[in-house]
Amino acid sequence: MTSLYSNRASEGIPDLSYKPSLARNVGSRVLTVIAGIFSAVAVLPLILVLGYVIVKGGSKISLALFTELPPPPGLDGGGIANAIVGTIVVTVIAALIAIPIGVGGGIYLAEYSRSGWFAQFIRFGTNVLSGVPSIIAGVFIYGTIVTSRVLFGNAYSALAGGMALSILMLPTVIKTTDEGLKLVSDDLRQAALGVGASRFVTIVRITLPTAFTPIATGVVLAIARAAGETAPLIFTALFSPFWSDLLSTDGIFAPIATLSVLIYNFAIMPYEFHNELAWSASFVLVVMILGLNLFSRWLARFAAK
């Protein structure tokens, strides 16, 4: 091997073998270690939070937690069943409002007005809305829907909570739909138009099915974000210690319990059992949001295949 290197050097070929002692290689290793440390520090808070929630809340998981109502202040026993159902109901209401509007807005931006001034305005507004604190959405719905009692004379309600969460979902749904449709090749659109299909038929039968997976991924991420919000629901859905009558029309027009508000209410109570319920609810909520995020990652990998 040495003779080979000497022959290459005699022929004027530079020695390109790796030399650990060179200053640039030493500096590269040092920077790699520093980058690894910073990455570990960035992930450490997530690990600590998840670990603490699992230790504090996971140990209190039981069948009663998922089947019984929260206990009155000062009493032991009970669960968070109505809050789990309420979280699902409010999130579904938000999804039913945000998904059609968001997907429709994304279709308009990607298919009808890609570079117009109005499209630029919508994209700018979407970026601004995605950075607005969630409590602002709650205050907005509180001022326009709750205090005015426009929902058939009702104030706090599950529907008002869903409307507040839908505002938070809209930017994500619009942007992912817009970007997902942009990934569709223009050759597919031109081919469909070339055989006589209208633009509407092309969008419904060609571009939307092709971009379904990235759009669905964005929708799942938006739902995951909305499911964990607290401030908007305090101003809109409030809280209820009872089961909501979802089989009647009054169910969505009345206050409803949600996991995030239950955590807030029980965490500040001076009763140990209610504090434990808050930790258990935190564990359940984290598992729900983690499951939605894992499902969105699975959709993204499915799209890449």
pLDDT in tens, 144-153: 999 988 887 7
Q: Are 267 and 133 within one domain?
A: yes
28/96 same-domain check:
no
Q: pLDDT tens, 73-120?
A: 878 888 899 999 999 999 999 999 999 999 999 999 888 887 778 888
* Weakest-pLDDT range from 31-35, 126-130, 192-196: 192-196
Same domain, 143 and 34: no
Q: What is the pLDDT of residue 143?
A: 92
pLDDT band at 292 (very low <50, low <70, confident <90, very high): confident
Are 23 and 75 in the same domain? no
Percent of the chain with pLDDT over 70: 92
204 and 237 in a single domain? The answer is yes
- Domain CATH number, residue 96: 1.10.3720.10
Confidence of residue 3 (pLDDT cuts 50, 70, 90): low
Residue 176 burial (CB count, 10 A): 23
Confidence of residue 196 (pLDDT cuts 50, 70, 90): confident
pLDDT in the model for residue 162: 93
- Provide the domain limits for residue 40: 2-58
Q: Is the pLDDT at 4 greater than 60, yes or no?
A: no
Say whether both 24 and 170 belong to one domain: no
Residue 301 has pLDDT above 90, yes or no: no
* pLDDT over 70 at 1, yes or no: no
Residue 305 has pLDDT above 70, yes or no: no
Q: Are residues 49 and 179 in the same domain?
A: no
Judge whether residue 10 has pLDDT over 90: no
Same domain, yes or no, for 185 and 103?
A: yes
- Separation CA 86–CA 81 (nearest Å): 9
The yes-or-no verdict on residue 8 having pLDDT over 80 is no
Asked if residue 158 lies in contact with residue 89, where contact means CB atoms within 8 angstroms, the answer is: yes
Q: Are 285 and 260 in contact (CB under 8 A)?
A: yes
Both 47 and 71 in one domain: the answer is no
* Confidence check: pLDDT of 17 > 90: no
In the chain, where does DSSP find H-type helix?
2-10, 23-58, 63-67, 81-107, 117-130, 134-141, 158-182, 186-194, 199-202, 208-210, 212-227, 231-236, 259-267, 272-304
Whether residue 288 is found in the same domain as residue 160:
yes
Give residue 198's identity as a one-letter amino acid code.
Answer: S
CA angle 179, 191, 99 (to 5 degrees): 30
pLDDT given for residue 34 in this prediction = 95
Averaged pLDDT, 37-54: 91
Mean pLDDT value across residues 2-10: 52
Q: Are residues 20 and 72 in the same domain?
A: no
Which range, 66-80, 103-117, 132-146, 245-259, has the best average confidence (pLDDT)? Answer: 132-146
Using pLDDT thresholds of 50, 70 and 90, give the confidence band for residue 155.
Answer: confident
User: In this structure, are 22 and 115 located in the same domain?
Assistant: no
Q: Report pTM.
A: 0.83
| Domain count within the chain | 2
CB 218, CB 183: distance < 8 Å: no
Identify the pLDDT of residue 113. Answer: 81
The mean predicted confidence, pLDDT, of the chain is 86
**Would you state the pLDDT for residue 163?**
94
The mean per-residue pLDDT over the stretch 181-201 comes to 85
Per-residue confidence (pLDDT) for residue 6, from 0 to 100: 53
